[in-house]
Amino acid sequence: MNSTLIAIILFLTFSSAHAASEGSVSKVLFVGDSHSYGNFGKVLDKYLRTRASDVLSISSCGSSPSTWTTDKGNFKTTNCGYWRRSAIDKEIRVKSHQMNSFSQEFDTLKPDVTVISLGTNILASEGDIQREKKHIEKMIQYARKGGSQCVWIGPPDLARDPYKKNLPKGIAEIKAVVEKNDCIYIDSARLIKYPQGSSDGIHYGPQDATKWGEAVQKALDSQWSQIEAASQRERRKASAGKSLEGTSTTSSKGAK
């Protein structure tokens, strides 16, 4: 075998390995509300750990997108349930806890993929839905600027008003913002129906929450190649943006 052929083989091997590494997902951030505190969150957390080596899952009861984007003290403490599980299996599950903002958690982990499961709590009124739209967009844009592909899991079917009444409007508004910002939307309401006479009309019991989680897992699994490819594109865009910022800064300094 001549040296030229050996060089070609080594180049192709290195290129393939580099491409595979660049395209793979190694870090995932998963945030949610009280739904994610129970079996729904457990199912997704377990699945995401089969897809990435570094997964951080956080759920905060009663939270909405604005809860995660505010920099003020209010909205930062939950008194009805907080769950956090890191890559090293360190787990916190308490009733009351002071939570970090989305940007703080994101900047610490720097995830390749960001999975957000929020939306039920904004269905209390049409006014809440409209007010939360800018916070949904803020979370998605922050993730994309950081080179992370976003996946948004919408609220499930509900049985208690005004949440049930506002669900179609809420789904339409959330989906419009999510898709406008090139985030992948998973419509939970199409995947699970609320069992009549069960629980409080909002939350799912352990068995039904597991079914919902498994349905979302299948949806994620069927789109994972697309999610990986989109993640790779977002990382390239973010890297290119940083390079341009560096060039611009250097040029500005030179012009003084």
Domain borders along the chain are: 25-239
Looking at residue 230, what is its pLDDT?
93
Looking at residue 3, what is its pLDDT?
52
Do the Cβ atoms of 176 and 210 come closer than 8 Å?
no
- In the predicted model, is pLDDT for residue 245 greater than 80? no
159-186 residue pLDDT tens: 999 999 999 999 999 999 999 999 999 9
Domain 25-239 has CATH 3.40.50.1110: yes
Report which of residues 193 and 76 the model is more confident about: 193
Do the Cβ atoms of 126 and 59 come closer than 8 Å?
no
Do the Cβ atoms of 170 and 119 come closer than 8 Å?
yes
| Location of structure tokens 């922050």 | 142
